[in-house]
Amino acid sequence: MNIARQIASVSISSSAVRRVQLSSRNPLPIHAKLEKELQGDRLLPPVTLDITKPSTLIPAFENAGVIVSLVGLMHGTPQQFEDIQWHGAENVATAARQAGAKLVHFSAIGADPDSHIPYARTKGLTEISVLKICPDATIIKPSLVFGPEDDFFNVCLCFCEGLTSNRAVEQRFAKLAKFLPFLPVYGGGKTRFQPVYVGDLARAVEVISRMDPSIESQISGKIIEAGGPDGKY
């Protein structure tokens, strides 16, 4: 599962006339898959960039109307989380502002600038930075995201109290279910989740990207928590 791929697919497939560009350190694999799945010329050539190098962002964002920032890091050192997940996302927001584009930034449920866990802390700090740089940005905070090849049912990364992200406990539920008579549960079986479907997130971005004034008035500068069948902001 790849959220960028889902968003691009839904946006291009919508009735609105949109052209989608994929930009990352290595956008070619996703671009190649989308080329096979989608018809027409609405998928622009991919652009390689490095979010830690602001000079690579300006050319990539030229003429963009909406920029969806999916900056995120699941494994790494505390410094890498700061350089990429925090300051890298700040660079994206700054470039979006310079391009005059609407910014949709993906954060995560549990983001907390006061957390001692690098993942949660830098996600929380980024939310603050993004809204300072782009006051009209929309931040989406998904719960656990599920869909084809997702990292919840197939690989669940559990960030345990007292562990840094690079020591995440991995439980491969899909594989374990094939031969175990039971599955491990968290919190004595009392932990509750509100997973959100990746296609619903993609549709939300597609709606936001319409830049409808009536929609923008509700989501501009807001943080939307996305979990379960209904989100809230």
Beta carbons of 6 and 201 less than 8 angstroms apart: yes
Residue 61: per-residue pLDDT? 95
Q: Which structure tokens are listed for 158?
A: 């559990």
Beta carbons of 72 and 107 less than 8 angstroms apart: no
Lowest-confidence region among 30-34, 86-90, 135-139: 30-34
Beta carbons of 103 and 130 less than 8 angstroms apart: yes
Residue 167: per-residue pLDDT? 33
Please report the domains of the chain, with CATH numbers, ordered by start residue: 3-145+196-223 (3.40.50.720)
The model's pLDDT over 216-228, given as tens digits with 9 standing for 90+, comes to 999 999 999 988 6
| Selection from 40-44, 93-97, 189-193, 226-230 with the highest mean pLDDT | 93-97
Q: Higher model confidence: residue 130 or residue 39? A: 130
| Selection from 28-37, 154-163, 223-232 with the highest mean pLDDT | 28-37
Burial of 149 (0-12, 13-18, 19+ CB in 10 A): exposed
Residue 220: per-residue pLDDT? 96
The model's pLDDT over 140-160, given as tens digits with 9 standing for 90+, comes to 999 888 887 665 555 443 333
Q: Which three-class secondary structure state does DSSP give residue 17?
A: coil
The torsion angles phi and psi of 66, rounded to 5 degrees, stand at: -135, 135
The model's pLDDT over 67-98, given as tens digits with 9 standing for 90+, comes to 999 998 888 999 999 999 999 999 999 999 99
